[in-house]
Structure 1
């Protein structure tokens, strides 16, 4: 329990209405309730544009902010104090006056191979149909297994699994973290090695968005921050921002801390998998969190520049057009 130094008695969390989004919001509510038992916390359930349009690949309807804009508007309108997001859905540039007040400890960031008939990606027969809504996953899978047929797959986790169970796909690829959070670990047949499928920027991490000038809320949220994971996530997002990417383009970035070094890997690929650019770099960690955060952002830019020198700009331009 943490003693509250605030006049706040109620906190409202904006959330999407999918089972996974509700789990995320309830998870943050539970953590805050343990810290502040006297704080009354409510959920404001909202349907976003990304939830409404389910028959079109995300990249074709504009990936930036599809799952967060309505939640952000609720914060602007003071109908909500915070919004809980899957960080991979959050645009690289936030609207004026809003900020990410918390980077939570990251869950497993890998991609999960899910199938009723095959144990892993290497076991799929030639020509197998694999479902994913992600161009990032598509380009890496096609690079690794050019013989596979990639078919678009939209909807919440339950909807995607039901389409697999109906025989529409031989396998589907989902986020490991999402399946674990809603108790569907048993559907995972294989966690894809990051050499096969490097994760999305921010994959597996929750972030909390709030008003930038709301000092009371920021103080309440502070204990939820994970400083080490924040460095990894800042580096990944800086890479994506420098490439002017969103959450629905074939950009992958994954950072870890090893031996007191921050190690960032990045990838950009063509959708058909014929070209997959790779770059990586490491930096030593400093003594202060502030210095490390600044250096993490610089690292993201450096790895992005390495990718641009290889031709990432042309690949991404062709996709945007």
Structure 2
């Protein structure tokens, strides 16, 4: 059996793809990598929110799945929309890396609490809004592009530090540039942050699905992300709205913490829900109901406008 894997072309996306390919190879399955440009890759001159709120980094890859030019697609799980088109499904989630957000900087004496004005580069509406809430003294600037491009922009003086996911920084071996790691108690990450999702056509042969799942899927991560994604789906959220959630599992209990934040950072809603790890979607829906009852939908409607 040989499988064709569709992916974006950034170094991080290719790292994730090779990670999946190696797991397949360890199980005796060869693969071929197919690089596909997405809207999010082509339009790096504007903020993600100006491109769209759904499928920014996935739509073109899904088109290739539908044409059957590829067998599976590899995505950062946090980039995958909460509601997939009916023709597609997620076959596997890789084991999750640390989920925290970090700051990286080329300034050796960088301090988040400096008296000097600081500018943080990020393309995430969630990160911008949470920074405004917890660190209103910081300025933020839109920073698009792959990780290497962003690092070059920072070194050219466009910002003092970049706010990024630890997972990507670590995978690209920029650990030495980390100057601050945010607590996930305060800066709850994006849904799916730290994991890689494998998407397939729902009509893909059961034999191929079984192989993909057996060789790649990490059960605990899947349960966590099913809760987080159910929460996001209930709020009709995507990667371009200020929604966040993080699930953890202890014994058989799943704890889901999450919320929403207004774009100006002034209103922050956070809550949590618990339940059986065998019913993760139920836990996600319970948390969504709590956030909606506190006015979460109004915050998101304003953000979408």
2:282 is the alignment partner of 1:298: yes
Alignment partner, residue 2 of structure 2: 10
Stretch deviating more after TM superposition (257-266 or 136-145): 257-266
Stretch deviating more after TM superposition (210-219 or 130-139): 210-219
* SS at structure 2 position matched to 1:234: helix
Question: Of residues 229, 236, 243 in structure 2, which corresponds to 1:244?
Answer: 236
Distance 1:317 1:23 in 2: 36
Alignment partner, residue 138 of structure 1: 128
Q: Alignment length, in residue pairs?
A: 303
Alignment of 1:34-49 (within 5 A): 34-36=26-28, 39-49=29-39
Shift in Å, 1:123: 2.8
* SS at structure 1 position matched to 2:112: helix
Distance 1:282 1:118 in 2: 42
Runs of 4+ that moved beyond 3 A: 118-122, 124-127
Distance 1:182 1:170 in 2: 20
| TM-score where L is the length of structure 2 | 0.96
1:80-109: CA deviations, max 9, x gaps?
000011010011111122100001111111
Shift in Å, 1:117: 2.5
| TM-score where L is the length of structure 1 | 0.91
Alignment of 1:78-157 (within 5 A): 78-117=68-107, 122-125=112-115, 127-157=117-147
Shift in Å, 1:181: 1.2
Runs of at least 5 residues in structure 2 that lack an aligned partner in the other structure? none
Alignment partner, residue 28 of structure 1: 20
Alignment partner, residue 66 of structure 2: 76
Alignment partner, residue 66 of structure 1: 56
Contact map agreement 1:113 1:120 (CA 8 A) in 2: no
Contact map agreement 2:99 2:184 (CA 8 A) in 1: no
Alignment partner, residue 296 of structure 2: 312
Shift in Å, 1:190: 2.1
1:63-92: CA deviations, max 9, x gaps?
311111111111110100000110100111
Distance 1:229 1:40 in 2: 25
Shift in Å, 1:127: 3.2
Supply the RMSD in Å over aligned alpha carbons: 1.4
Runs of at least 5 residues in structure 1 that lack an aligned partner in the other structure? 1-8, 286-291
Contact map agreement 1:126 1:148 (CA 8 A) in 2: no
With over 3 angstroms needed to count, the CA separation of the structure-2 counterparts of 1:282 and 1:119, relative to structure 1, is farther
